[in-house]
Amino acid sequence: MPELPEVESVRRGLEEHLPGARILTIGTLHPRAVSQKSKAPLDLLQGLRCESVKRRGKYLWLTFERDEHALIAHLGMSGQFRVFQGRKAMKEELHPHVRMTALFKDGRKEFRLDFLDQRTFGWMRIDEIDEESSVPKSILHVAPDPFEDHFDPHRVIERLKRSKSEIKRAILDQTILSGVGNIYADEALWRAKIHPERKASTLNDAQLRLLLSSIRAVMKRALDLGGTSFDHLYVNVNGESGYFATRLAVYGREGERCRRCGTAIRRITFTNRSSHLCPRCQRLR
Ligand SMILES: [Zn+2]
């Protein structure tokens, strides 16, 4: 499932093509492609010129010139944006997983943007931008992610200290900080030597600071390598996989040796999720 580094890789890819380009046509090929919360059908965007491609956590959105609407997209489990340009590529038949397709024109250049989604948990919707925060209104509850200028580690640490839940569940809570999913939560907890089931409120300031810097470091490293294509469901806008999967320390490495101490990595299940950890480096007590 795409997390912050994968979604940011997609955003950067879209940013190379979309700003300045006008939407000529846009249409959907699957009923789940557009969320029921959409303020309008996607063809409201026809004729608009894209201004920018933004992201908060795992949410992407496009803004448009002289228009207050945004097109928000969430990749879900397997959503992919793909850009096709050149007469030959654009004429090829659509992939069976295409849920949305749009034709853009930028000067004399035309290109096609497809949204593919095998598992159909991804979605798009039209929303309005909140003037004060410049964030779409429907995701105002989503907290800033660790890569944002607005990210305030002190505020996050205070929230974590007041949390009644386990630390892993707390860092997956998108109202505390956004962008972290199962893979990077496990990786960051291993780096910070914290057991995922430790109560957040039992950790001291130094441990929480180390955890936040570990989250940022592991996601930055993953972004530098184009993200994690662990389950082959993530690719960038050119259809290329990321390379971080080979660098994972614990996620998906059950039974393999801890890269720090050599102990076998364990997989445990809680709150319907798998957690991967080193039982020696990450003690519960
Ligand atoms: Zn270890």
How much is the pLDDT for 285?
78
> Which domains are assigned to the chain?
4-139 (3.20.190.10), 153-277 (1.10.8.50)
Residue 56 falls in the annotated catalytic set: no
**What is the distance between the alpha carbons of residues 104 and 259, in angstroms, rounded to a whole number?**
47
The alpha carbon of 249 and the centre of ligand 1 are apart by a number of angstroms equal to 10
**What is the distance between the alpha carbons of residues 157 and 153, in angstroms, rounded to a whole number?**
6
In 3-state terms, the chain is what percent helix, strand and coil (to 5)? 30, 25, 45
73: left (phi over 0), alpha (psi -120 to 50) or beta: beta
Which one of 54, 58, 125, 253 is the catalytic residue?
A: 58
**What is the distance between the alpha carbons of residues 8 and 28, in angstroms, rounded to a whole number?**
24
How much is the pLDDT for 254?
97
How much is the pLDDT for 230?
78
Residue 99 falls in the annotated catalytic set: no
**What is the distance between the alpha carbons of residues 204 and 200, in angstroms, rounded to a whole number?**
9
Spatial contact of 136 and 145, defined as CB atoms under 8 Å apart: no
How much is the pLDDT for 91?
87
Residue 144 falls in the annotated catalytic set: no
The alpha carbon of 38 and the centre of ligand 1 are apart by a number of angstroms equal to 46
How much is the pLDDT for 213?
98
> What b/e readout covers 160-199, taking b as 16+ CB neighbours within 10 angstroms?
beebebbbbbbbbbbebbbbbbbbbbbbbbbbbbbbbbbe
Residue 58 falls in the annotated catalytic set: yes
How much is the pLDDT for 59?
98
Whole-structure pTM value = 0.96
How much is the pLDDT for 196?
97
How much is the pLDDT for 162?
97
**What is the distance between the alpha carbons of residues 80 and 239, in angstroms, rounded to a whole number?**
8
pLDDT tens-digit map of 162-201:
999 999 999 999 999 999 999 999 999 999 999 999 999 9
How much is the pLDDT for 264?
98
The alpha carbon of 188 and the centre of ligand 1 are apart by a number of angstroms equal to 13
Identity of the amino acid at 247: R
Which one of 3, 8, 166, 187 is the catalytic residue?
A: 3
Segments of the chain with pLDDT less than 50:
none
How much is the pLDDT for 1?
86
Which one of 193, 273, 279, 280 is the catalytic residue?
A: 273
